[in-house]
Amino acid sequence: MTGANGDRPFFAYSTNYLVDLDNAIIVDVEATAPIRQAEVGAVRDMLVRTRHR
């Protein structure tokens, strides 16, 4: 997703998907800031959530 304040567009957030490739399903989704550290944290959170299901 992008955002803009009358200027050039910029990335406002990133969507991260945890996908089960064997069964072709999306297991979990989390939106984050488009920063690598936030995306790594999102992956960790999604893995923890799916382990508890």
Domain ranges in the chain are 2-51
Contact (CB, 8 A) for 53 and 37:
no
**Is the distance from CB of 16 to CB of 40 less than 8 angstroms?**
no
Higher per-residue pLDDT: 49 or 1: 49
pLDDT at 7: 79
Q: Grade residue 35 by pLDDT with cuts at 50, 70 and 90.
A: confident
Q: Taking the model in full, what pTM does it have?
A: 0.69
The percent of residues above 90 in pLDDT, for the chain, comes to 62
Question: How high is the pLDDT of residue 25?
Answer: 97
Mean pLDDT value of segment 19-37: 94
- C-beta of residue 18 within 8 angstroms of C-beta of residue 28: yes
pLDDT on residue 39: 92
DSSP 11-28: E--EEEEEEETTTTEEEE
